Structure 1
Amino acid sequence: MIVPAAFGSRKGENKYPTHRDPQQVPQFLPDPCPILRNERLSRLSHFATVASLSFLYGGAFSRRPLLGTCFMWIKNLVVFVGEEVFPFSVAELDETLDQNRCQPCGSQTLRTEGFVPPLKGQDPMVYAVDGFIYCTYQETSRLLPGPVIKELLDEKVEHIQDEEGRKVGRKEKADLQEQITFELMPRAFTRSRRTSLLIDTERKRVMVDASSASRAEEVVACLRKAIGTLPVAYPAPNSAPYTSFSNWLKDTKLLPEGFTLGDRCELKGTKDEGAAVKFTAVDLGQEEILAHLETGMVATRINLAWQDSLELDINDKLEIKRIKALDLLQENIDAMDADDAVAELQARISLQGNVLREALDGLFGYFEVNPA
């Protein structure tokens, strides 16, 4: 299998190889599961392996980089806030996460979770810079496509009905499905998903690079379990964010200091009809948007820029999406030394961490955020 190039690849080299090249995909597949003797079942078992491979390698046209590359850029944020000083030092957290590493899935294990070193080939489980602690959560799961299991189950049910002349009840079907899963599990490929955490010890915030709250909750729950206690919760604003978003669209003077309107927003009706309108790549001060607001719709998501450094979307749950570096920040990123992976990671933590800290200070200060 092709191993990803080091983070410090020379300029012009492909640091993130994709899987479109057939030479990068294994040219063989394991034999069908010997437990399933029926020719039809064996063929489907073989299909399960192929489906797992396709999912694992991202499909023929995937441009997703291999897991384990050390590029650090947080794209989404679900933020948890606390009132107490975090009950650990950097050294203690490093040792704790080392004792709670994500382990490989056993032959009959569907899923494991834990923590891994942010940089492959390096020992540290955490990197600390400017009051930030950066670490990496990993979930490893076996790939058992539901349609494959269903087709195998249908074949077994049909075989029993033909051979024994009877119907298969609900409980027996459940037992057969469990048997099929048990037989396929050892041959199923595994896929790992990594999620970055940035802990701001100065502001008592845990920031999870997740696009959904449920994913962020899984990560924080795993961290809390490893540490023993983690006194953080969702941010609780003093006023409804959608009211402020709507007011910002009506009057930009009401924006928090340092922020300007971007070019995207989402409006929703406040009644039960569920009306919703999305605007993209437009002037957010245009009359059409203001007209919708006059009818009673409210802004539930809005695109903002922070001091020519960051562009982001924020929704009415104060979740941050689509974080993008603007010119001022991008110039600093481009100037980093890519020959030293550790130094570059630390520089990225400091650079993005401090900008996010300032942006969140502005937003959370505006909404007078406290832990829920």
Structure 2
Amino acid sequence: MWIKNLTVFVGEEAFPCSVAELDEILDQNRCQPCGSQTERTEGFVPPLKGQDPMAYAVDGFIFCTYQETARLLPGPVIKELLDEKVEHIQQEEGRKVGRKEKADLKEQITFELMPRAFTRSRRTSLLIDTERKRVMVDSSSASRGEEVIACLRKAIGTLPVAYPAPNSAPYTSFSNWLRDTKLLPEGFTLGDRCELKGIKDEGAAVKFTAVDLGQEEILAHLETGMVATRINLAWQDSLELDINDKLEIKRIKALDLLQENIDALDAEDAVAELQARISLQGKVLRDAIDSLYGYFEVNPA
């Protein structure tokens, strides 16, 4: 288990159920296999294959896994068969095929191909911080995060969480951090990546990778009116991450201090190892997000 990206949702109320209750709820909302004419299913699965628990709790965190299973029916395949049928009708019957008839033919083709289509499952981890009233989805896509939260909310019946709402525009702070590292939130240092965009010229954008973020070229861009919309940071020699102007956290990587602790894990079995990893990464993420959200005075949107 290693969380690589985070779309964070925050709430003002305590998580609405206990670990035991959540385990039962998720078990009742498992992701089912796709039927012969089912395009997509979603639900939850055990985080560890071969194990029964649907949720694992440690140190104020609950870890669970969402899954989406979908049939793969490529659009080009449907289009090719549709074109063949349309051409056949035009040649055999000497008439044009109208829009409605094409739509009906497409629907028929899809129906015939669906049972033969392969299925693909995608898993997404959730880390619920019950102490901080946060639900964190391991996804770099906001839409994916919303999809997972919607499924969890539907299963539980209620889940009053929303996107974090900073008290000030993050891009303004990011730009100021590049100008003066003393303004960074406590515990953070600059990394080596950032992305700048123009405010007046919306099409203007420049990315810097593997560079000193204090270099004059970056500062010169800021002086022309560009702002930093994404910035790479390090947290106390434990984590490296990118954060964007929506406060989405991406490309999470363990640094030396945390990696040493992970490498030193000597768990007796898969469950013990998973719980140890949840605790190690969860606590570091909690502290890092505390510092960021405290800086931005975050509240639920």
Q: What band does the TM-score fall into relative to the shorter chain?
A: over 0.9
1:198-249 superposed Cα distances (whole Å, 9 cap, x missing partner): 0000000000000110000000000000000001000000000000000000
Aligned counterpart in structure 1 of residue 121 of structure 2, from 175, 188, 192? 192
Q: Distance in 1 between matches of 2:24 and 2:167?
A: 38
Q: Distance in 2 between matches of 1:331 and 1:76?
A: 21
For residues 154-173 of structure 1, the aligned pairs below 5 Å read: 154-173=83-102
1:240-280 superposed Cα distances (whole Å, 9 cap, x missing partner): 00000000000000001100000000000001442000000
Q: Distance in 1 between matches of 2:140 and 2:84?
A: 38
1:121-155 superposed Cα distances (whole Å, 9 cap, x missing partner): 00000000000000000000000011000000000
Q: Distance in 2 between matches of 1:165 and 1:338?
A: 73
Residue number in structure 2 paired with 1:129? 58
1:86: Cα distance to partner? Answer: 1.2
SS in 2 for 1:364: helix
5+ unaligned residues in a row in structure 2: which ranges? Answer: none
1:79: Cα distance to partner? Answer: 0.2
Query: Larger deviation: 264-273 or 300-309?
Result: 264-273
SS in 2 for 1:366: helix
1:35-74 superposed Cα distances (whole Å, 9 cap, x missing partner): xxxxxxxxxxxxxxxxxxxxxxxxxxxxxxxxxxxxx100
RMSD value, Cα: 0.7
Structure 1 residues 273, 221: closer, same or farther in 2, change over 3 A? closer
1:339: Cα distance to partner? Answer: 5.2
SS in 2 for 1:152: helix
Query: Larger deviation: 213-222 or 337-346?
Result: 337-346
5+ unaligned residues in a row in structure 1: which ranges? Answer: 1-71
Q: Which has the higher contact order (CA 8 A, sep 6+)?
A: 2
Q: Distance in 2 between matches of 1:330 and 1:208?
A: 22
Q: Distance in 2 between matches of 1:287 and 1:205?
A: 38
Q: Distance in 2 between matches of 1:87 and 1:193?
A: 26
Residue number in structure 2 paired with 1:87? 16
SS in 2 for 1:277: strand
4+ runs of 1 displaced by more than 6 Å? none
1:337: Cα distance to partner? Answer: 2.2
TM-score (norm 2): 0.99
SS in 2 for 1:101: coil
SS in 2 for 1:140: strand
1:119: Cα distance to partner? Answer: 0.3
Q: Distance in 1 between matches of 2:20 and 2:267?
A: 26
SS in 1 for 2:57: strand
SS in 2 for 1:193: strand
Residue number in structure 1 paired with 2:259? 330
Residue number in structure 2 paired with 1:348? 277
1:336: Cα distance to partner? Answer: 1.1
1:72-125 superposed Cα distances (whole Å, 9 cap, x missing partner): 100000000000111100000000000000000000000000000000000000
Instruction: Give the number of aligned pairs.
Output: 301
TM-score (norm 1): 0.80
Q: Distance in 1 between matches of 2:225 and 2:131?
A: 40
For residues 143-158 of structure 1, the aligned pairs below 5 Å read: 143-158=72-87
